[in-house]
Amino acid sequence: MKKALLLLFFTATAFLTKAQVYHPVHWSYAAKRLNKTEAIVLIKADIESPWHIYSTVQHDGGPIKTSFAFSKPTDYELAGNITEPRPITKYEDAFKMNVLYFEHSAIFQQKIKLNTGKTIVKGSVKFMCCNDKQCLAPEVISFSIPVK
């Protein structure tokens, strides 16, 4: 009986350890007020080395680009498109093309026009993370950013 329980314990431990998903990208959020009617939402990706995430701009046939979806607000409007830092350009054999990506960190910015004094910007970011050996499955992370 003890051997059976011990075998079950080690089998379950091995299964659970193998089932853990690795997350080499950590997201943080902030908002910066520009004036009474405008703010910038900052969405930062901290990326563990040697991983990278892809730019919001990619050619068809390449990796899944980073994309942002914002909920339909009533108290603010998106002002323009999301901006990003200058990405690294590199040929990747896996995609047989030049790709645009970020290492270490990237701060994405979205300007908003406020219709009221305070708001909460809600949405999600979809991204794919790769290194020189493998790519992880795309992830979707929700966010909620207060603008005071």
Which DSSP state fits 27? E
The 10s digit of each residue's pLDDT in 44-92 is 999 999 999 999 999 899 999 999 999 988 899 999 999 999 999 999 9
pTM value?
A: 0.84
User: Could you tell me the pLDDT band of residue 20, with boundaries at 50, 70 and 90?
Assistant: low
Chosen CATH of 23-147 out of 3.90.1300.10, 2.60.40.1250, 3.30.70.140, 3.30.420.40: 2.60.40.1250
Measured CA to CA in angstroms, residue 127 lies from 95, 121, 148 at distances of 16, 19, 28
Question: Rounded to 5 degrees, what angle do the CA atoms 80, 52, 136 make?
Answer: 105
Query: How confident is the model over 39-49, as pLDDT tens digits?
Result: 999 999 999 99
Fill in the amino acid letter for 143: F
